[in-house]
Amino acid sequence: MEIEEITDKYRAFKPQLRYGLLVLVGVLPAINMWTSSGDALEQRKVQVETEFQAERQTFEDARQKAAELPALEAKLTEIEGELTKAKEFLPDRIEIDTILGFIGGLEKELDVKLVKFTPGAEMPGQNGLEYKEVPVDIVMNGTFVNTMRFMDRLVHMQNLTHMRNIQFSAPETDKVVKEGEVPDTGPKKVDSQAKLILFKGV
């Protein structure tokens, strides 16, 4: 069919039909593009949306961590302060003479006699922690109440200490009061023994 015949037939169409043909011819390229690349565009859209959500989550996580920084810094400062304080109570060396001087003052104050004070060999800290223990076998004589106060003061010395294996013996038996002697009516004294643990840094 020649072009002139096509033109004549087109002119013979009603105006509405001609306008419809023009619209159809105009949208054909768009329809062709959609059918050929529509699926690819949909896949790309899904991919971009997924990447956007991932980046948004990363941003939210980073913002949350940034908001937690002041609290973490405060916690770190608190831990450093506690560590400094702990080092004050965990000396690099144990001054036995100083400890004996402190105990001598307690003997006079609480009327408790230190019968035995025997330091043992240094032992490594438990659970692999970086400290050492120095066990000291001690034997005391005094009233039960004063002995308990004595041991309480020992574990609250400036140096970090601990008491283990505390044992009390039976009270002393009544002594025969000789003629002319004044009987002792005060609290009865007991013997006690324990293991005083002294701690030191590595």
- The predicted pLDDT at position 137 comes to 93
Average pLDDT of the chain is 76
Share of the chain above pLDDT 70, in %: 64
Is the confidence at residue 143, as pLDDT, over 60? yes
Q: What's the pLDDT tens digit per position in 155-177?
A: 888 777 888 899 988 765 555 55
Continuous segment of H or E residues that includes residue 136: strand 131-143
Q: Cα separation of 184 and 165, whole Å? A: 31
pTM: 0.49
Q: Cα separation of 59 and 30, whole Å? A: 39
Domains of the chain, CATH where assigned: 1-89 (no CATH), 96-173+186-201 (3.30.70.60)
- The predicted pLDDT at position 197 comes to 87
- The predicted pLDDT at position 147 comes to 92
For residues 3 and 103, which has the higher predicted lDDT (pLDDT)? 103
User: Which of 23-27, 97-101, 113-117, 146-150 is predicted with the least confidence, judged by mean pLDDT?
Assistant: 23-27
For residues 148 and 1, which has the higher predicted lDDT (pLDDT)? 148
| Cα four-point dihedral sign 145, 147, 150, 155 | negative
| Separation of CA 121 from chain center | 32
Mean pLDDT of 9-34: 57
Query: 157 exposed, middle or buried (CB, 10 Å; 0-12, 13-18, 19+)?
Result: middle
**pLDDT band (50, 70, 90) for residue 64:** confident
